[in-house]
Amino acid sequence: MILSNRNKYYITETICLLFILLFIYASASKLMDFQHFRIQLGQSPLLSAFAEQISVIVPLSEIIICVLLLIPRYKAAGLFVAYGLMVMFTAYIFIILNYTSFVPCSCGGVLEKLGWQSHLLFNLFFVFLAVLGIILYKDSGTQKFHAVKNKKLTALFSAITISSISIVVVMFIFSENIIHYHNRLTRRFPQTPIEKVNGKDLKLNSFYIAGADSFHVFLGNSTAPLLITTLNTHLAITGKKMIELNRKDLPFRGIRLSVRPPYFFAADGSVPCVFRGRIENWKAELAYKGGEYFTTTQALDSVSIAVVTNNSRTGDNVLGIINVGEKKKTILNPFILQKQFDGVFDTDGHLLYSRGLDKIVYLYYYRNQFTIADRGLRITGRGTTIDTISRAKLNIAKDKKHKQRKFSSPPLYVNKNSAVYKNLLFVNSAIPGRFEEDRIWQEASIIDVYNLNDKSYQLSFCIYNLEGKKMKSFIVDNDNLYVLIGTQIILYKIGTKITSKYTK
């Protein structure tokens, strides 16, 4: 069937009208809920790093195309630009479905109800309409565009197609590099990286997680320092035991339990002393007494404990390792914790140990930095979290009467809680990121995941509040995530989006 020029003209005008309706509606929906649109782009696994710019460029481009299509002399240019934009949208969805680590929620506006596969077909249909419109517009005999030769038209199509796809691919590559290695607080929340499995009400809020293995989680209790409670992976209590110490005549002020199966430690840095025993009978003998006072402990193995102690001359925090075996000794390295202005408060942080890497990890409370060291306290790496606060924001005053230094105002936490398993560092951040809704921070705690091998950011997920209470602490053991919230302990299963990143 041969179409007359008049029919070609009407079909072309219809195609232009469809594009105008599509882009006017799409741009209007984006602009009317601009903040939500920008948040959605911030969660894209392709465009996170460029969300701020693209959130403006895309609706502006759609409006410009509509203007071009409405002006007869620029109609051909409008169709070509529409074609290029639809090719970019199509390439974007194809990469989302086939080459990204997760598939985000579908975009809003006119396509909000479409799945990604349907969205892809929708875009391909409009790519076809743009091609058809350009060909019919050329053959309709209107304007100078009719004089363009077919070879030149084919070359123009090829150039626009290659350029459009290349732009999306290049943005994807650069965005991935920026997000993982040069991130400035843009988080990615893939769908369902964790799943709640079980929960148990412990009736008290004084419990803390002392350790875990493949079969149990061990809870200490701050109001009953020698009570150890054992739960299985179904969160059923399998044992409660009062730890027996062979010395009870010491001036204990704050015993803290740390379980590293098959051993456990009971330590009090104000004495200072360390007791060691086996979990088979929960009896402990004094293994270390005297020497450096310490504030924080982390069991490494059956004979070694990492501690944060103080420099006897300056009072600055220092990272050390206490060996409580036959050859008792203490190793200190004053260069691991980096002083900024105070040396005590500004170097406070989380002391962690990765058994899989056999590395000590120290994550600061009040700044976006962490340090990795081996058992000899040799620094093997330093890294930063995606939070932008590199210098602790603290107000410290001297109490001359009591000869103490105290916070004169509440400190700004950057890293509230943390855990480590193998090569992954899990950080409960206190700093909201770009393109994030306030509602999420009111309803949940945010966990950011980092790969310690290359110091890269991986992804984030939420642990939602329970009865209005936020998470207190958590621990990770393989695919088990144990969380204390209020009086309850919750077990989450960690999905393959995270466990696939573990070093074998």
Range in 75-79, 353-357, 473-477 with the lowest mean pLDDT: 75-79
Average pLDDT on 353-375 reads: 96
Per-residue pLDDT at 397 exceeds 60 = yes
Residue 217 has pLDDT above 90, yes or no: yes
Q: What is the pLDDT of residue 453?
A: 95
120-149 residue pLDDT tens: 899 999 999 999 998 888 766 655 555 566
Give pLDDT, residue 147. 57
Q: Which pLDDT belongs to residue 292?
A: 83
What is residue 43's predicted lDDT score, i.e. its pLDDT?
A: 72
Higher-confidence residue: 69 or 405?
A: 69
Tens digit of each residue's pLDDT (9 = 90 or more) over 225-237: 999 999 999 999 9
State both tokens at 24: 């006017």
**pLDDT bracket for residue 33 (50, 70, 90):** confident
Q: In this predicted model, what pLDDT tens digit does every residue of 64-76 receive, in sequence order?
A: 999 999 998 898 8
pLDDT interval class at 287 (50, 70, 90)? very high
In this predicted structure, the answer to whether residue 431 has a pLDDT above a threshold of 60 is yes
Higher pLDDT, 397 or 492: 492
Q: How confident is the model at residue 180 (pLDDT cuts 50, 70, 90)?
A: confident
pLDDT at 208: 96
Q: Is the Cβ–Cβ distance between 276 and 285 less than 8 Å? A: yes
Q: b/e map of 103-134 (b: 16 or more CB within 10 Å)?
A: ebebbbbebeeeebeebbebbbebbebbbebb
Extract the tokens encoding 478. 């393989």
The pLDDT mean for the chain works out to 88
Judging by beta carbons within 10 Å of its beta carbon (0-12, 13-18, 19+), is residue 28 exposed, middle or buried?
A: middle
Long-range Cβ pairs for the range 5-9 (8 Å, 24+): 5/139, 5/140, 5/141, 5/142, 8/136, 8/137, 8/139, 8/140, 9/140, 9/142
